[in-house]
Structure 1
Amino acid sequence: MVTSFLTNILAKLTAIIAGTSIQPVRYPSSVMPADIIVDFIVVGSGSAGSVVAGRLSEVPEWDVLVLEAGGQPPAFAKIPGLNFGAEFPNSSYTYEYKTPPQKYSSKFRINQAVEYTRGKVIGGTGTINQMMHHRGNPQDYGNWAAQGNPGWDYETVLKYFKKSEDYQGPLKSRDAPFRGFGGPLGVEKIPWMPPAGRVAIAAGEEMGLREVDYNTDTNIGSSVFQLAIKNRERMSSADAFLLPGLRRRNLKLQTNSQVIEIILNADNKAIGVKYVHNHKVKRAFAQREVIISAGAADSPKLLMLSGIGPKEHLEKLGIKSRVNLPGVGQNYQDHVMVYGISWTIHPNVSSSIFSRIGIKAMLNYKERRSGPLASPLGVCALYHLNIGSPQEPHVPDTQINMGCALEGQDYGLMALSGYQQSVRDYYRPVFGRDGFSMIPMLARPKSVGSITLRSRNPLDPPIVDPNCLSHPDDLSLMIKAAKASRKLGNAKAFRRALGAEPFRDPIPDCAHFEFESDDYWRCFVVGMSTVTAHMTGTCKMAPDSDPMAVVTPRLNVRGVKNLRVIDASIMPSITSGNTNAPTVMIAERAADLIKEDYGKI
């Protein structure tokens, strides 16, 4: 049913797109000759790889080659309201990674497992995500520096956040020093919200949360989301950095090229890569460096396939260990969130999924670049709170995302997919109803998981185990976050404007506990928790003294010459917000580090 529904929507959408000014972005892609030699090879054209490649190609005498496993993005990816593009029945755009059964979370999901969708397309996951632009909190970067990573403090990284950004939203004078203008990446406040979202700020004020720009030096408060968009169209890193760079002669992109091994010489120097293109294994060589920007799942996977990682794990799979780095694939951190804390509202005061992506919405977007399709489907506002960390009162430990739709509003087609039948039955009475939800997310989780190899076959997906809520402090904080979410949604502003009514019946699997008691919320949290797919930390940046260090503060892989990892995997600790903007910043900073190392700055 889901496939049929989405296929029909895609068919209608294709017809609409044909008459709009949106044209499919075609990235110039070349087929490289066998054993080509360049200065730099960048593996991956995602949120980090596109930035690195674009910036390195600014040096005219450097030849840069980007190898991307996926192909050209679909035209509909440019439309913000179709951010659920990963759900379309075309796996050529995505990787689907399924976790093992989770021990501490996701109890109400089928097989207690979670699916990760990652972009397999030019632009990577930045081509299919919700476009949220969130830098995190300044203290995140102070912590990175304090862990022995000089040059990653907030004052330094702020320059790179600003360098990337072309902010087009409203601005208060006190916030202006923190924003960037004229950079490659467009950033705007969410341009359209249903009525539920328009009440969000007033509801926050009622709870004592003032409106803030969370991409400045403060987070605590209420906000509408900021997006990586320009002219009401998605703007991925590939759009902002790679496409302009490809106009230069010294930057080349080859698509449909799955890198399967880093070529190391006898001195453990990275000299190139092996990759699969048109069903053939080919090679490319780098005179200066190989740069891995494949993401927090696939960067450690590629290192391990190349003999760089935990020796015991590699040898167990028959992979010769070249460099024993126990930290590769470890320190995996992800934000955990809880679905299902919901309210119904008066009929016809919100927007169902069908009206948001229907023909009327498509025509509105086509003719005026306005309406529901100008904004991502899903969350629209957010609240940053500190509810369990009194030692750092100005740093949020919880982010509550407001979903301007009810879990059952789409009749169970997407939002409830993956959940057990008992959960679907619980929401069935409100299928098709208008409503909203509060989705608490731990901003600074303590739980860690791992990425390990499934086999030595490079085409097998890795084993992705987030291990969410394994740290008892995370579960305790999430219970508080669930209660805070309920308090927010019960604000008088929502009731007065929308007739908001909370669910008053317990979810069946937790009905044996007193409704909304701590024991009830503990059961609810463990059952309805899942990951945000903010994958980080698996190639940890740390000093020599840390036995789990994978890369240096200049992002060189330890024990290997001429090899760097540049993406979200290098984060020593996850940032307290959506991770795409920090990933762009990491790549901006890394490009300058490389230029410094070769005397180009």
Structure 2
Amino acid sequence: MTGSAFLNILTKLLAIIATTLIKPVRYPTSVMPDDIIVDFIIVGSGSAGSVVAGRLAEVPDWDVLVFETGGQPPALFKIPAFNIGSAFPNATFKNDYKTPHQKYTNRFAKSTEVEYTRGKVIGGSGTINQLMYHRGNPQDYNNWAALGNTGWDYKTVLEYFKKSEDYQGSVKPRDAPFRGFGGPIGVEEIPWVPPAGRVAIRAGEEMGLKKIDYNTDTNIGSSLYQIATKNRERISSADAFLLPGLQRRNLKLQINSQVIQIILNADNRAIGVKYVHNNEVKRAFAQREVIISGGAVDTPKLLMLSGIGPREHLEKLGIKTRVDLAGVGQNLQDHVMVLGLSWTINPNISTSIFARIGKSAMLDYRERRSGPLTAPLGVCALYHLNIDSPHEPHVPDTQIYMFCMLEGQLYGLASYQPLKQSVQDYTRPIYGRDGYYMTPMLARPKSVGSITLRSKNPFDPPIVDPNCLSHPDDVELMVKASKASRRLGNAKIFRSVLGAEAFNEPVPDCAHFEFESDAYWRCYVHGWSTVSGHMTSTCKMAPDSDPMGVVTPRLRVRGVKNLRVIDASVMPSVPSGNTNAPTVMIAERGADLIKEDYGKI
């Protein structure tokens, strides 16, 4: 049986299990008549679109219509431990975008092409992601403001982070002003910690890293993973904002409908959209605004299909340019990470998926919402370090994720990419063993990529080229981060409590270099590095003086009236953490900007 066939069987089994543990959520949906007229159209029900929809529907005299390409979310992924939605093959709830061959990364893989997974489902990627709640660093937002983006400084955006949050953990008095309470999105430290994770904080202390709450103003230190859950179930933006909003008569959701074009009138005013539903092309019109919340890939794609983007690129594909915006699809940023830094531990303390779905675990979850099913599979601890940025000593330039398992414990089910034979043979001695691995990630990469159209056919996937590690500074920092990860994983506490032993054999593809020399680590970094899926900045927010800016600080698309972009694509630069929480923040602020413009605040 192939791995794909086995995974399909496992998917069906887990789906059956899920229905015995939680009550599936069904979103009320509607099918709109052709040429419907509403006040606001929102394209996308993901992490941003759901927030905007729910907040705009708070104004009772506004009619709001949301289009979603996908359908109802699987109940399976409401359970935190089943956070491997991106791993399932041929799933209808996701899009897989294959990149061109990458020059600087993934050299240990069978193919240097990388596959990006995006949610095509109510809730978008927030329905299938790792549940991580991470705001980034305060300096990220002060940097945005310093670029001329008024109103996006940390002091301002902190209030929007707090507005959406309902923090459920214990809080030190000094940290309390930074946390939100009573908002729609629950946040807590992982409630169940695997054996390896139970000593993770003490390992950080050996390196001089204190335990911190990384969602405050302090980011250098050690932490357990914080996740977005409520009642120990995943809480996506759709759960938190869209579902309650759909109880109002003025908010409608139409699923299985792909928007293929923004309709512009002769004055370059966005007046509606064309979309495909049941193989028919239909239209919907907006009296006030069209809001694009498709994410860092699909938002620039839709803009370019509508004639908004780089003239030369559009005309090469036969698309009439309505607004020449050079920055659409450019400035793609993502965090790059390095895999493979592994340690084996004493046997029989496995944290693989097969050890976490037994009868007792399911009973704990169903009856008490406790036990291993309450925590995402994999990442358990997080270290924030400043390795090589002395000009900003309090800002991390590197994160190290501690995965409380080895990739081999999943028997390839959630592997980032199939490895070539020489590297498979190299990892075989630890395949199926108990252990952990450390994954360094660049928090503030300098490399940039792009999103471009493959053709003018709206059903063709775009060309997603992350171009990670193209900047030499990123490579050198990742070399230092890999060395730091090795030191961290070798902490005495891991050896004494877990019997940890580093897998120290040189990778055959780099064996011609002195083991663990800088040249060896460069080879290792280029070989085992890959993307993290934190794509941002392809329609970046900027003042008029920036020729690559796409939206204004009020998130209006330049050169087009009544059109906004509200999602991760507007970030001027990728935050130094996971991007879901910042995306929700942008949507909260974006909704308020709209209300301000219409005198509703």
TM tier, shorter chain? over 0.9
Range with bigger deviation, 586-595 or 506-515: 506-515
Paired residues of 1:86 and 1:93 also in contact (CA < 8 A): no
Does 2:18 align with 1:17?
yes
Q: 1:531 to 1:113 in 2, by over 3 A?
A: same
Q: 1:591 to 1:180 in 2, by over 3 A?
A: same
- Structure 1 SS opposite 2:599: coil
CA distance in structure 1 between the aligned counterparts of 2:544 and 2:351, rounded to whole angstroms = 53
Tell me which residue corresponds to 1:36.
36
Residue 411 (structure 1) shift: 2.7
Q: Following superposition of structure 1 onto structure 2, how do residues 137-536 of structure 1 map, counting pairs within 5 Å?
A: 137-415=137-415, 417-536=417-536
Paired residues of 1:412 and 1:424 also in contact (CA < 8 A): no
Q: Following superposition of structure 1 onto structure 2, how do residues 56-67 of structure 1 map, counting pairs within 5 Å?
A: 56-67=56-67
After superposition, give the CA deviation of every residue in 1:470-522 in whole Å (9 maximum; x if it has no partner): 00100000000000000000000100110111112111111111111111110
Residue 421 (structure 1) shift: 2.0
CA distance in structure 2 between the aligned counterparts of 1:147 and 1:521, rounded to whole angstroms = 35
2:27 partner amino acid: Y
Paired residues of 1:407 and 1:427 also in contact (CA < 8 A): no
Residue 88 (structure 1) shift: 2.5
Does 2:28 align with 1:48?
no
Runs (5+) with no aligned partner, structure 2: none
TM-score scaled by length of structure 1: 0.98
Paired residues of 2:18 and 2:79 also in contact (CA < 8 A): no
After superposition, give the CA deviation of every residue in 1:80-133 in whole Å (9 maximum; x if it has no partner): 111102322442100000110101111112221110111000000000000100
After superposition, give the CA deviation of every residue in 1:310-332 in whole Å (9 maximum; x if it has no partner): 00000000000000000000010
CA distance in structure 2 between the aligned counterparts of 1:598 and 1:352, rounded to whole angstroms = 52
CA distance in structure 2 between the aligned counterparts of 1:47 and 1:412, rounded to whole angstroms = 29
1:213 partner amino acid: D
CA distance in structure 2 between the aligned counterparts of 1:357 and 1:567, rounded to whole angstroms = 35
Aligned residues: 600
2:541 partner amino acid: M
Paired residues of 2:271 and 2:289 also in contact (CA < 8 A): yes
Residue 154 (structure 1) shift: 0.3
CA distance in structure 1 between the aligned counterparts of 2:422 and 2:369, rounded to whole angstroms = 40
Paired residues of 1:131 and 1:227 also in contact (CA < 8 A): yes
After superposition, give the CA deviation of every residue in 1:386-439 in whole Å (9 maximum; x if it has no partner): 001000000000000001111222233432642222222211111110000000
Tell me which residue corresponds to 1:594.
594
CA distance in structure 2 between the aligned counterparts of 1:111 and 1:56, rounded to whole angstroms = 45
Q: 1:56 to 1:368 in 2, by over 3 A?
A: same
CA distance in structure 2 between the aligned counterparts of 1:117 and 1:14, rounded to whole angstroms = 20
Residue 75 (structure 1) shift: 0.8
After superposition, give the CA deviation of every residue in 1:429-452 in whole Å (9 maximum; x if it has no partner): 111100000000000000000000
Q: Following superposition of structure 1 onto structure 2, how do residues 542-561 of structure 1 map, counting pairs within 5 Å?
A: 542-561=542-561
CA distance in structure 1 between the aligned counterparts of 2:90 and 2:23, rounded to whole angstroms = 20
TM-score scaled by length of structure 2: 0.98
Does 2:4 align with 1:3?
yes
Paired residues of 2:555 and 2:590 also in contact (CA < 8 A): yes
CA distance in structure 2 between the aligned counterparts of 1:90 and 1:77, rounded to whole angstroms = 16
Residue 536 (structure 1) shift: 0.1
CA distance in structure 2 between the aligned counterparts of 1:26 and 1:269, rounded to whole angstroms = 35
Residue 359 (structure 1) shift: 4.7
Residue 15 (structure 1) shift: 3.2
After superposition, give the CA deviation of every residue in 1:144-169 in whole Å (9 maximum; x if it has no partner): 00000000000000000000000001
CA distance in structure 1 between the aligned counterparts of 2:20 and 2:135, rounded to whole angstroms = 36
CA distance in structure 2 between the aligned counterparts of 1:559 and 1:80, rounded to whole angstroms = 43
Paired residues of 1:412 and 1:431 also in contact (CA < 8 A): no
Range with bigger deviation, 248-257 or 419-428: 419-428
2:11 partner amino acid: L
CA distance in structure 2 between the aligned counterparts of 1:416 and 1:303, rounded to whole angstroms = 30
CA distance in structure 2 between the aligned counterparts of 1:285 and 1:594, rounded to whole angstroms = 18
CA distance in structure 2 between the aligned counterparts of 1:123 and 1:432, rounded to whole angstroms = 34
Residue 170 (structure 1) shift: 1.3
- Structure 2 SS opposite 1:19: helix
Residue 366 (structure 1) shift: 2.3
Tell me which residue corresponds to 2:121.
121
Paired residues of 1:30 and 1:252 also in contact (CA < 8 A): yes
Paired residues of 1:328 and 1:539 also in contact (CA < 8 A): yes
Q: 1:364 to 1:90 in 2, by over 3 A?
A: farther
CA distance in structure 2 between the aligned counterparts of 1:357 and 1:464, rounded to whole angstroms = 36
Structure 1 residue ranges, 4+ long, deviating more than 4 angstroms after superposition: none
Paired residues of 1:551 and 1:565 also in contact (CA < 8 A): yes
CA distance in structure 1 between the aligned counterparts of 2:360 and 2:276, rounded to whole angstroms = 44
Tell me which residue corresponds to 1:93.
93
CA distance in structure 1 between the aligned counterparts of 2:514 and 2:363, rounded to whole angstroms = 49
CA distance in structure 2 between the aligned counterparts of 1:352 and 1:53, rounded to whole angstroms = 38
